[in-house]
Amino acid sequence: MNISWRSSVLIFGVGFLIAVGAAAASESVAPKISFVRSEGVEHIKTPESVRGIYMTQCAAGTPSFRKDFLKMLDETALNAIVIDIRDYSGKIAFPTENPVLKEMVSDECGARDMKEWVQLLHDHDVYVIGRITVFQNPAYTKLHPEQAVQKKGGGIWKDKNGLAFVDVGAKEYWSTVVELSKESYALGFDELNFDYIRFPSDGDMKAAVYSFGAGKSKAEALEEFFKYLHDNLKSENPQGDASWVPMMSADLFGYVTVHDDDLGIGQILERALPYFDYIDPMVYPSHYNSGFAGLKNVNSDTYKVVAVSMNTAVARTTATTTRNAFLGAVAIASTSPQLYEKKSYPASAMRPWLQSFDYPVEYTPAMVASQIKANEDAGLTSYLFWDAANRYRSLRQALAPPAVDR
């Protein structure tokens, strides 16, 4: 199976480059630094239905994009925004003097007044989600090459786009993710969204060498990281206040909804569910292979692609065992028929990423609307839309208020 990742098209504009884009861990790798947090930051309670759009960190620092996004958020049913805290480059979007992080602050893309931007969004009743790219991190691997995925024969392994990954098992890195998460939440972000929480793909995988986590499967190693995040962000209460508990979400490949193996990258839906408030499968129709759901051309029926994915995801999420989860849903692609009991989670824990970008065909308002309808028909009301170009041309039309007869 060919695993597609977020579109890697590069968009030029406004003078800069926007890129598209289980055991507990030992105490020895627990964070040793908790940076001083600002006081007086308020957070918006998570809406019952989260309807959001993505904003790159380059756009976040650009007044024209801010104005455009605020207008769109004010005039449509959207009520949330996902802003890069750290993007594909590994660079951080806002300045910090935290000694763990300051060497990785971007001097090209981001917002030096991120706190004020988040506050302005709050003033417009917008729920603000901060996206953190995790294991794809060229900036960190440049500083700490020994913690990177290595290349057979020597050197750092890179994917087909020339980007390096931190080895999932490099636990020294985990504490830096927690540090960035804490500082971002203290800045005002209401939710922390973790992307690229996986082993790498899209490259010469036979040449990839993982120097950490010997004796563990990829799924086991990744679940250890999920647990570490949860334990250090949900359990710790540095403010002595029960309100200081960030919402957390995880971006997973769309195929995790219909496969029970780890896709070769460590991601299994049931292994992620216990540790996050939301699971955000990236069910972009264009990223599925021909033949999915019986479709020769997956872009010919965007409703069906999302419906099959999310109905199966809901069945698996709410089930109390792994195998009967799929009764009444699509037949799952199974490599491990074992049955085991699991906690039943609410269907609302599923919140998909949907497509509003033109790939490989022009996405029409009808194609965008059909994805929303498929999600609703699966019993879900929350969704996020991705367009790395920050245009959302078709989504704007799909969400436009109806004309009023005069």
Lowest mean pLDDT among 18-22, 230-234, 311-315, 325-329: 18-22
pLDDT of residue 238: 52
What is the per-residue pLDDT across 279-291, written as a single tens digit (0 to 9) for each? 999 999 999 999 9
Rounded to an integer, the average pLDDT of 178-204 is 96
Q: What is the mean pLDDT of residues 363-375?
A: 97
The pLDDT score that the predictor gives to residue 139 is: 96
Query: Which pLDDT tens digit goes with each residue over 46-60?
Result: 999 999 999 999 999
How far apart CA 356 and CA 360 sit, in angstroms, is: 12
The confidence score (pLDDT) of residue 165 equals 98
* Whether the predicted pLDDT of 15 surpasses 70: no
Q: Average of pLDDT values for 165-192? A: 96
> What percent of the chain has pLDDT above 70?
83
Confidence at residue 150, expressed as pLDDT on a 0 to 100 scale: 97
pLDDT value at position 402? 59
Q: Could you tell me how many residues make up the chain?
A: 406
Q: How many CB atoms lie within 10 A of CB 214?
A: 8
Task: Give residue limits of the domains in the chain.
Answer: 44-245, 251-400
CATH number of 44-245: 3.20.20.80
pLDDT at 383 over 90: yes
Q: What sign for the dihedral angle of Cα 308, 313, 314, 318? A: positive
pLDDT for residue 252: 98
Instruction: Select the more confidently predicted residue: 261 or 120.
Output: 120
Please check whether residue 110 is in contact with residue 85, taking contact to mean a CB–CB distance below 8 angstroms: no
**Those residues with Cβ within 8 angstroms of residue 251's Cβ, 6 or more apart along the chain or in another chain:** 131, 193, 194, 195, 196, 197, 280, 281, 282, 353
The strand pairing partners of 383, in sequence order, are 51
